[in-house]
Amino acid sequence: MKAAVLRTLAEPLTHEELPQPEPAADEVLIRVKACGVCHSDLHIALGEWSQLKGITKLPLIPGHEIAGVVESVGANVTNFKPGDRVGVPWLHYTCGTCEYCQSGRETLCGKQQITGVMVDGGFAEFVKAKASHTVRVPDALSFEEAAPLMCAGLTVYKAMRVAEAKAGQRLAVFGVGGLGHLAIQLGKALGLEVGALDVNNDKLAFAKECGADWTVNVTAEAPHKLIKSQGGGPHIAMVTSGNTVAYDLALRSLRKGGTLAVVGMTPQPISVSTVALVSGEFRIVSSAVGTRADLEAVLAMAAEGKLKCHYETRPLEAINEVFDAMKAGQLTGRVVLTL
């Protein structure tokens, strides 16, 4: 099978012909139709995240936003059959028995395995996945539409839930990229007033197309004042950008008692003023991807037309060029590799 392989961290992926994998008894073999390219894929390939660098297997086939068709099933699999339309997310495996799995927080499972990090992912013609952690893709969604929802859509949905977003509140989304443009749509679908913040006017125009009620270019003078002029500031500031400056601005922009939702991961630590936290009684929440139940909810919303990822398709052979465009901040929406 064709595959894009990471053999050395911080080096370009190599295009190779590899043997087609065989599913174990509890696995399904999937013919990949589409695989989204996430910024996490780039950070992993560059070895920029210390917590994941040590568990990244090499050589590795990256990719964790996978949509395709079941090719064959293992001996013990009864919930899928060849021909089923399915998706594979970040969580390859969780134990199901620990305190976190038992309390609906399987993203914190200490025995979890990660697709495209600890096991091979979807930058290939075929991928193996645990049947227990594979989801069905609704017929109303194309594979290209469904793939980015496996991580980008799932991540912002979970963050919205953790931030306890409620209809009528004000949400500010910092960074109008693959995550941000979906957060805008989710906010509107949940009945929030949504503002979008970015350094790029083209991306702010894109945010308007996604339903943003107002926008602010953060390169303007005193951008926090412009944000607070929108009804006194947001109840929730969700940072989807991996930029430390965005976190500082988000905290300064919050209304009293507001919530800072940490989604975008920065290679550097962020600094937070304890004086500001205490005086404003701010709340900081963070969210890692989402559970299988969260993913089913996201796919259902998309199938109903409430959530639509803006994407462009590229062939698998273009992955290194896509990574280069990511580094340069040239992408709007999401890139989906088609096979």
Tens of pLDDT along 31-70?
999 999 999 999 999 999 888 999 999 999 999 999 999 9
Q: What pLDDT score does 269 carry?
A: 87
Q: What pLDDT score does 152 carry?
A: 95
Tens of pLDDT, residue by residue over 244-284, are: 999 999 999 999 999 999 999 887 888 888 998 999 999 99
Q: What pLDDT score does 208 carry?
A: 97
Q: What is the mean pLDDT of residues 93-119?
A: 97
Considering the chain, what is the average pLDDT of its residues?
A: 96
**CATH number for the domain including 242?**
3.40.50.720
What whole-number distance in Å separates Cα of residue 135 and Cα of residue 145?
15
Compute the CA torsion angle 226, 232, 234, 237 (nearest 10 deg): 60
Q: What is the mean pLDDT of residues 8-13?
A: 97
Q: What pLDDT score does 285 carry?
A: 96
| Poorest-pLDDT segment among 111-115, 304-308, 326-330 | 326-330
**CATH number for the domain including 293?**
3.90.180.10
Q: Percent of the chain scored above 70 by pLDDT?
A: 100
Whether 311 and 148 have beta carbons less than 8 Å apart is answered as: yes
Taking 90 as the threshold, does the pLDDT of residue 133 lie above it? Answer: yes
Q: What is the mean pLDDT of residues 182-186?
A: 97
Pair (282, 296) in one structural domain? no
Pair (99, 16) in one structural domain? yes
Q: What pLDDT score does 78 carry?
A: 97
Q: What pLDDT score does 50 carry?
A: 86
Q: What pLDDT score does 336 carry?
A: 98
Q: What pLDDT score does 242 carry?
A: 85
Residue 320: which H helix or E strand, with range? helix 319-327
Q: Centre a 10 Å sphere on the Cβ of residue 320 and count the other Cβ atoms it contains.
A: 15
Q: What is the mean pLDDT of residues 112-124?
A: 98
Q: What pLDDT score does 134 carry?
A: 98
Tell whether pTM > 0.75: yes
Q: What pLDDT score does 332 carry?
A: 81
Pair (128, 264) in one structural domain? no
Pair (199, 122) in one structural domain? no
Q: Which domain holds residue 162?
A: 154-286
Q: What pLDDT score does 268 carry?
A: 83
Pair (297, 274) in one structural domain? no
Q: What pLDDT score does 49 carry?
A: 87
What sign has the CA pseudo-torsion 244, 248, 253, 256?
positive
| Poorest-pLDDT segment among 47-51, 72-76, 159-163, 189-193 | 47-51
DSSP 5: E
Pair (11, 117) in one structural domain? yes
Residue 29: which H helix or E strand, with range? strand 27-37
Q: What pLDDT score does 271 carry?
A: 86
Q: Centre a 10 Å sphere on the Cβ of residue 329 and count the other Cβ atoms it contains.
A: 12
Q: What is the mean pLDDT of residues 300-322?
A: 97
Pair (53, 161) in one structural domain? no
Pair (199, 293) in one structural domain? no
In total, how many domains does the chain have? 2
With cut-offs at 50, 70 and 90, classify the pLDDT of residue 329.
confident
Whether 91 and 106 have beta carbons less than 8 Å apart is answered as: yes
**Composition of the chain by helix, strand, coil, percent to 5:** 30, 25, 45
Pair (63, 29) in one structural domain? yes
Pair (73, 130) in one structural domain? yes
Tens of pLDDT, residue by residue over 225-237, are: 999 999 999 999 9
With cut-offs at 50, 70 and 90, classify the pLDDT of residue 333.
confident
Pair (201, 247) in one structural domain? yes
Pair (281, 202) in one structural domain? yes
Q: What pLDDT score does 267 carry?
A: 76
